[in-house]
Amino acid sequence: MTERTTMAEPLPTTAVVRVSRASYDPSRFAEVDAASKKTSEYIIPAIRRLPGLLHFYAGVSPKGSIVQVSVWDTDEHAAQLDLLKEMVVDGRRDMEAVGVTFTPIFNYPIDWTWTI
């Protein structure tokens, strides 16, 4: 087997990963998945206006878990999401309406990277 390794894109030394997690009753997967897709319609344009975003990923597991992972150039830029109305007011309201419970959000300095 041949192993293929490539270098990860260069990131600023100040880059952080922001991880937001939530949970819900797995029997409500269809509702939660639909709500997540609906919130993306107004959250994505709002996030695009923010400086410093490098990557953003969101996923809903049928096992009752949701995650949003984003990579930012600095902790200060990542913190913009903590005040973004579309995220903390509108998105939270719409997701809680279908039974989603959020856990605390953390920003992690990036120690190392690796990609395939």
Mean pLDDT of all residues in the chain? 93
When pLDDT is cut at 50, 70 and 90, the band that residue 39 belongs to is very high
Q: Which residues pair with 96 in a beta bridge?
A: none
Say yes or no to pLDDT of 96 above 70. yes
Predicted structure pTM score: 0.87
- What domains can you pick out in the chain, each with its CATH number? 16-109 (3.30.70.100)
Kind plus residue range of the DSSP H or E element containing 66: strand 65-72
Question: Which of 26, 74, 92, 37 lies closest to 59 in space, CA to CA?
Answer: 37
When pLDDT is cut at 50, 70 and 90, the band that residue 9 belongs to is low
When pLDDT is cut at 50, 70 and 90, the band that residue 3 belongs to is low
Structure tokens at 97: 């309406």
Q: Count the Cβ atoms, other than its own, within 10 Å of residue 88.
A: 14
Instruction: Return the amino acid letter for 23.
Output: S
Per-residue pLDDT averaged across 41-70, rounded?
Answer: 97
Residue with tokens 């949701």: 66
DSSP designation for 80: G
